[in-house]
Amino acid sequence: MQKQKKFHFSLLSTSLLLFTACQSAGLPLSTLQPKQVAPARVQAKWVLKQQSAFVPGEVVVQYRSLKPVSAHQLYPMPGIARNQELIVQGQRFGLLHFNSASQTEAAMAELRQSPEVASVALNPRYTALALPSRPQTLQRFSATTQPLNDALYPLQWALPKIGVPQAWQFVKNPQELIVAVVDSGVDYNHPDLKGQIINGKDFMAEEATGPNGEGSPDVVDDDPRDQLGHGTHVAGIIAALADNQMGVSGIAPMVKVLNIKALNQEGWGSAFAIAQGITSAADQGARIINLSLGGGEPSKPIELAVKYAQSKGALIVAAAGNSFTHTGFPANLPGVLAVGATDSEDWLADFTNHDKRIDVMAPGVDIMSTTPTFLTNAMMQNKIDLFYSSMSGTSMACPMVSAQAALLLSVNPSLNADQLKDLIRRTARPVGDNRLFGAGRIQIEASLQALVNSAPPVAPPADPAAPPTPAAVSAQRVIRR
């Protein structure tokens, strides 16, 4: 079982760095702190408590047919509370909620005797894969190597390392596409994500149910608002507006993020909710699905949801995990692009999972991105009102690869998932043993050049990246919002 990690804002150190960055750039502090829109004091818990591997009192039933069966027909004994259903890849699943966790074992034994039931399993839970961000070293680039005017670009050390915005010179007429972020939701009112978010469903609403106040929500709702902060951070890495004198720059600011909520304010979501989220993202046309979440227990509904999305042409990009062991679930599923994390020196991050299942590595330490514009508990406790923060984790590395895939698709929408994976792997910079680092650390500029030239990729530029060419600057103006 994968050990859960704790994560939170590096608030005080980050606030000082943001202030310094503003002063150095001659920008007012208000650039970092846009006016709040209807502030809402959401009770987000940035320090995760230890959780069991399974959601108490919840059982996932796989039926033998698609014929509807009521929960009470299936289990006529008292104690069953609710029933949800999911049909994916020609298989029908039901999520049964019991009023008492102690009843679960006996109920599972009873359910296995039913002729309507093919299998019965507990409902695993999976967590957001972010960790405490260490105090960041303020990294400034000279004026000749700072092509973007986003206030916090000097703190986005990973962008020049992986070839952004230099890669944009190859994006002449970007095709708009959808990248789904199945996560804790997104703050869709964030000014640096304005116009970038398409709201999907909330499959892990905040109303706690079941034994000990834990459990899946009664119903799916239409407001996938981030009440944690993790999903907003992931979305910003992919698609924050670029060159707009505010905050950070996303890697692929021309794409739209489909906001699917499957993790709650405590940073976890059930397998059933995540499977619903993946299926919904595929049905809404997402070409890339980002899963910055994971755990140690397998799940049949998630496995089939991934296969369903792949059958519709989607590339699944998943974080490998933060337990410094083997790649976790669902990143270890066939066809999924598994992403580990490196630091600024291209060493293994001291938390990242690493084994021969890893496809590529991406920067995942002290990554600056967007966070909610409303106050969380952690912000209020430190009397700091921020809209940006740094986090670490394979959760942060994963969306960098999703954004890379989005850039490649925006140039050539006809690429399939296998071709995307091949380009990303083939153009990665080798940084160590491939049994630990996979193909290496991503190099986005090299992958775009290889695609445009239809030729073997050129050698990635030396770090730090060279100043952009005039053509690159011209492309940035096209992408600028």
Among all residues, which ones are annotated catalytic? 183, 230, 395
DSSP 153: G
The vertex-38 CA angle with 370 and 245, nearest 5°, equals 40
The vertex-220 CA angle with 219 and 224, nearest 5°, equals 140
Contacts of 462 (CB under 8 A, 6+ apart): none
Q: What tokens does 266 get?
A: 């405590």
The vertex-273 CA angle with 268 and 277, nearest 5°, equals 110
Amino acid, single-letter form, for residue 366:
D
Tell me the C-alpha to C-alpha distance, in Å, between residue 369 and each of 309, 349, 436.
Answer: 28, 18, 27
Contacts of 399 (CB under 8 A, 6+ apart): 181, 234, 235, 237, 238, 251, 290, 292, 317
Picking from 293, 253, 286, the residue whose alpha carbon sits closest to that of residue 124 is 293
Using an 8 Å Cβ cutoff, are 316 and 277 in contact? no
